[in-house]
Amino acid sequence: MDCNKRPENMARITTVELANEFIEQQIKLIKEQVGDRKVLLALSGGVDSSVVAALLIKAIGKQLYCVHVNHGLMRKGESEQVIEIFKNGLDANLIYVDATDRFLGLLENVSEPEKKRKIIGNEFIKVFEEEARKLKGIEFLAQGTIYPDIIESDGVKAHHNVGGLPEDLKFELVEPVKLLYKDEVRVVGYALGLPKGMVDRQPFPGPGLGVRCLGAITRDRLHALREADAILREEFDKNGLATKVWQYFIAVPNMKSVGVKNDKRYEGWPAIIRAVNTVDAMTATIEEIPYSVLHKITERITHEVDGINRVLLDLTPKPIGTIEWE
């Protein structure tokens, strides 16, 4: 049987009871696979890696080493939040690596989306290999791969959790939630006792803002994207949309248009709002956002974020559009 294929008779995890059964089963499997050896985890702070971290801490405790890589493509304040929750809150073995210059240097002048994904994914693996050598004796790499990642890696997009692993990878993989859909991962997270803010956190792609800063990434446009995205999240929180919308973010393309600022011609990038609802990430519908909220977001972004002079709204469901632009 294909270990990457979800069994047809596998019950959908919708209750804490079913989640607890899954957790006990996975703890047993993890202990059998790992024994008394060390595991390295790519901890982004997103739902998937957070649930895997909590599951592994429950199964093997301090044998787990969590590595958070700041690739310079995180959302505003995100790395600081990861350190606060995991290092200070959960007492995890957390190693923080600031690799901003390293990643952005490799991505300079690279505009093709799949190439960007591969560069980011491969560099992640190199960082983990380096950290493993420093730690001595790391034999396993844990990943927050979920089932849609496996499905979508087959011809739709390269995913750094599934594709892009170098052939000479010396780690054996530990992927305890690889047969679960996103909604199931959240139920498991609650059963593990993770805080609501972490379990309900919206998905964030492995390549981060690298696939939302469309085309070749520049530091000024990346900064504008990060600031605009922070405003969008703040306004969604204020207006009760954060709990209604499954995923919402800004994408900024590599193009400019003419505008007017301080009575002068002003060329700037457009900020594109994407706000979708979905259960399993395989299909998605568009959330209707009140025009009063859209006007407020537009006013703030165009006045507070240097370099952006237009705000657009993406109304395309999935299919035909994917959730991310790249």
pLDDT (mean) for 213-232: 97
DSSP secondary structure, 207-248, as one string: TGGGGTB-SS--HHHHHHHHHHHHHHHHHHHHTT-TTT-SEE
Confidence of residue 206 (pLDDT cuts 50, 70, 90): confident
Fold of the CATH domain 16-199: Rossmann fold (3.40.50)
Query: pLDDT at position 292, please?
Result: 98
Query: pLDDT at position 12, please?
Result: 95
Query: pLDDT at position 192, please?
Result: 92
pLDDT (mean) for 178-183: 92
| Region of poorest pLDDT, from 129-133, 179-183, 267-271 | 129-133
Q: Which CB contacts under 8 angstroms, 24+ apart, belong to 95-99?
A: 95/65, 95/66, 95/67, 95/68, 95/131, 96/68, 96/70, 97/67, 97/68, 97/69, 97/70, 97/127, 97/131, 98/70, 99/69, 99/70, 99/71, 99/72, 99/123, 99/127
pLDDT (mean) for 64-84: 90
Query: pLDDT at position 168, please?
Result: 56
Report d(CA 213, CA 310) in Å as an integer. 15
Among 3.30.300.10, 1.10.10.10, 1.10.1740.10, 3.40.190.10, what is the CATH number of 212-313?
3.30.300.10
Share the mean pLDDT of the chain. 89
Closest CA to 323 of 226, 241, 247: 247
Is the pLDDT score of 1 beyond 70?
no
Is the pLDDT score of 203 beyond 90?
no
Annotated domain spans of the chain: 16-199, 212-313
SS3 148: helix
Confidence of residue 14 (pLDDT cuts 50, 70, 90): very high
Query: pLDDT at position 154, please?
Result: 53
Is the pLDDT score of 151 beyond 60?
yes
Query: pLDDT at position 169, please?
Result: 55
Confidence of residue 73 (pLDDT cuts 50, 70, 90): very high
Is the pLDDT score of 77 beyond 80?
yes
Number of neighbouring beta carbons within 10 Å of residue 316? 14
* Count of positions (residues) in the chain: 326
CB-facing half-sphere around the CA of 276: CA atoms within 13 A: 23
Report d(CA 315, CA 221) in Å as an integer. 23
